[in-house]
Amino acid sequence: MKTRPMLCSLFLAAVAIPTAALAEMSCAELGAWLLAQPTVQQSTTVPPAPPGLVPFFTLVSSGTNARCEVQFIYSSRGGPEFGYDVGEMQRVTIRVGLPLNSRDGGTGGAPGMGAWNGKTRNLGGGGCVGSVGSVTSATSTGYVGSSTDSGHIGSDCIFALQPTPTRLNVGRLNDFIVDSLRAQVRWAKAIAETYYGPAPARNYWDGCSTGGRQGLALAQRYPEELDGWLVGAPAVNYGRFRIAQIWGPVAMKELTGGPISSAKTAQATLSAITACDAADGVMDGVIGEPRSCKFSAKANVCGEPTAPAANCLTPQEAAAIDLIWDGPRNTYGKQVFPGLERGAQISALNGAVPSQTATGQLRWNHSDASFDWSTLTLADYGREAQLGSMTTGDIINTNDPRLDRVRDAGKKILMWQGTADQLITAENGLEYYTRVAAHFAGGTPEFSVLQPWFRYFRAPGVAHCGGGPGPQPNQESMFQQMVNWVENGVAPDTVPTSGGGRTRMACPFPQQAIYDRIGNPNLASSWTCGGNVQTKENICQSIVTPYKHESEDQLQAWGKYNPAACNESSNVPIDGHAVDASSYAPDPDGVDRSENQGYNE
């Protein structure tokens, strides 16, 4: 599916966003200026709020969240020509918050700009978005903040299906993936210049999960819009990770007849942590490198000497949990997507009803708003994944490794993820980072080539965008680290983490935190970053089927790793160690297909 020509044409006329003369406006005058713009409409409330109109501007004149806030609908195109339904217009709601300028009483910012520091902090959304978010995390720290609903109302993940006839609404899909985000950033910059006079000196992105994917979408497509990105747990490989969330519920349905109790899955997770906890030198309830943990839920089968006294498993339940950890496979036994890391909460995605991100993806794939996930079997998975790649993958996957314009312009990306992520397996972000490294190193994933401008940190024991048993990174601190990198050239060598009476650090991949085995393990001073977690065993378990060939009897590893080094049925090195074939060789046929993985050409 070729989509880039359409996407490019969409913005030829759409991105010309006006600004006023170089003089301050009051917040009320800014609202009047917005009202006069031909592509702007007044926004409406989002259910469950009562129906009504949202004012163009709101002035909060005092307190820590003092700001001028504007909200509006941006619409510059419509109809089937741009992928929408007949008579349908683009509808992107945008909110921009501005620290008060001097005319509205603001003080303490950059000289002559009231409370503003002269920069924008554009905020990402979550899930399938559908509503604008708060911008006070930006305005309270001196930044102009922005948010968007990504082009539709409501969090239901089937928003991209239109009913008569049922088909994909490509216009809404394009808005969701990247077009609304560019509009968000450009309007934030234009409104800032209109309200304060000068244009922003720096522009940043800050988002996690969907917000992380959104940031990378802008880095891949429109890097000129921003100077730096804080990207957390990015939902890249968007279609592939969403459909992977159906694997566990289908495995449980097929093997046990329904969901496994959360008490049993929690015990299985705890048993895995206990079995693998000491590998990093400290028993602290956290697995340092979960890819190296091979614990099997069979150890928890009732009657086994290793089984817990309470919440032991039936053999069928243990098999289902092992399948969740192992990850989706096709009928040839080839891995299609990495599994959930041991140490992550199993029940989050594996209850009686699958996540709506998973069921929504299935409905997109089939253009059927009522498609029933429960009709699927494990044997169907490869075909379903391939169908998704063929129908929506080229639009939604957000996995282009060609970030040359980011690097060449001296821009910076700080990406992070918790290894106990229960919603998006931590190997998803790692897979993208690996392919970026391979792109910039001529086919071999050499991570050192990325360190001057793109660093990726994995936080052991941390769940999706935060939480979990591990010491936590601080979002605000990470954002400031990224800003310091952009503005002062100070690259982050570690990301500090803390919690539960412990201080630690997350390390730039492929390093890990190493305990000195002398000092207090609860203090970061007893740990250093070093080593290389990319052992051949860890590499092998990440090798998956080629894009658009998910149902077939082949492994490709994005053309960057050699499946010949791994046991073809288990993705584990033969006899537990690497064979002569290098894990870093091209595909055996010598063809590097890495640049054709579901991003727009």
Q: Tally the domains of the chain.
A: 2
Residue 359: inside a domain, yes or no? Answer: no
Low-confidence winner among 194-203, 394-403, 497-506, 551-560 (lowest mean pLDDT): 551-560
**Mean pLDDT (whole number) for 521-525:** 97
How sure is the predictor about 417, in pLDDT bands with cuts at 50, 70 and 90? Answer: very high
Nearest to 92 by CA among 146, 136, 161: 146
CA 479/CA 206 separation, integer angstroms: 7
* Per-residue pLDDT tens digits for 326-368: 999 999 999 999 999 999 999 999 988 899 999 999 999 999 9
pLDDT at 560: 57
518: exposed, middle or buried (Cβ count in 10 Å: 0-12, 13-18, 19+): exposed
Residue 182: inside a domain, yes or no? Answer: yes
Residue 40: inside a domain, yes or no? Answer: yes
Residue 516: inside a domain, yes or no? Answer: yes
pLDDT at 567: 60
Residue 292, pLDDT above cutoff 70: yes
pLDDT > 90 fraction of the chain, expressed in percent and rounded: 82
The residue from 494, 514, 530 where one domain ends is: 530
pLDDT at 448: 96
The residue from 510, 530, 550 where one domain ends is: 530
Backbone angles phi, psi at 370, to 5 degrees: -115, 15
Helix (H) and strand (E) counts in the chain: 17, 17
pLDDT at 456: 99
pLDDT at 166: 84
**Mean pLDDT (whole number) for 61-83:** 95
Joined tokens for residue 116: 């503003």
* Per-residue pLDDT tens digits for 173-187: 999 999 999 999 999
SS3 146: strand
Locate the DSSP E strands across 474-598: 495-499, 502-508, 512-515, 527-530
Q: State pTM to two decimals.
A: 0.92
Residue 367: inside a domain, yes or no? Answer: no
* Per-residue pLDDT tens digits for 247-261: 999 999 999 999 999
User: What does the mean pLDDT of the chain come to?
Assistant: 90
pLDDT at 165: 76
* Per-residue pLDDT tens digits for 9-27: 333 344 567 665 567 999 9
Residue 83, pLDDT above cutoff 90: yes
Residue 65, pLDDT above cutoff 50: yes
Residue 462: inside a domain, yes or no? Answer: yes
Domain hosting residue 504, numbered range = 404-530
pLDDT at 23: 79
The residue from 497, 530, 563 where one domain ends is: 530
Angle at 123 between CA 168 and CA 484, to 5 degrees: 135
